Amino acid sequence: MTNAYDSEMGKVDIVFNPVLYTQLLAPFGVLPRDISCHALWHYYITGMLNWEDERDPIVIVGTKDPTYNYKQLFTSIATMYGVQPENMIPFWGVVDTQARLLNLPVMPNADRYRFNKTPEIKTQ
């Protein structure tokens, strides 16, 4: 991520350089070059870290249990990668296959995590 400060206007422009998981392209993995798939893989990695944190939280006495908004995470990552969330959905099979090849657990198959229904994730 890079940013630039415009002293005359007093604003900051932030440019996100999305992560492309080139080490997971053929012949080393199964991800295609499609940026939407890489966005979904990024969501998968981040979402699974959150999911594991929810399953086995380390909670300090007097603090709330961690809760995560997976839908917001999904749409935010789509925005960072410059893709529509709906374009990420078809790549769930590829992401699940890549996770299995790396001996990682797949994302739970529940609406809270997967957003397989296009109308549910409309953006503005």
Q: Does the pLDDT at position 44 exceed 90?
A: yes
Mean pLDDT of the region 67-75: 90
Instruction: Express each pLDDT in 52-65 by its tens digit.
Output: 877 766 666 766 66
How do the domains of the chain map onto residue ranges? 2-121
Q: Which residues lie across from 3 on neighbouring strands?
A: 14
Q: For residue 99, name the pLDDT band (cuts at 50, 70, 90).
A: very high
Strongest mean pLDDT among 15-24, 28-37, 51-60, 67-76: 28-37
Residue 10: predicted pLDDT = 67
Q: Does the pLDDT at position 4 exceed 80?
A: no
Cβ atoms within 10 Å of 96's Cβ, excluding its own: 17
Average pLDDT, the chain: 83
Instruction: Express each pLDDT in 77-93 by its tens digit.
Output: 999 999 999 999 999 99
Tell me the CA distances in angstroms from 29 to 96, 101, 111, one per residue in order. 12, 8, 27
Cβ atoms within 10 Å of 19's Cβ, excluding its own: 13
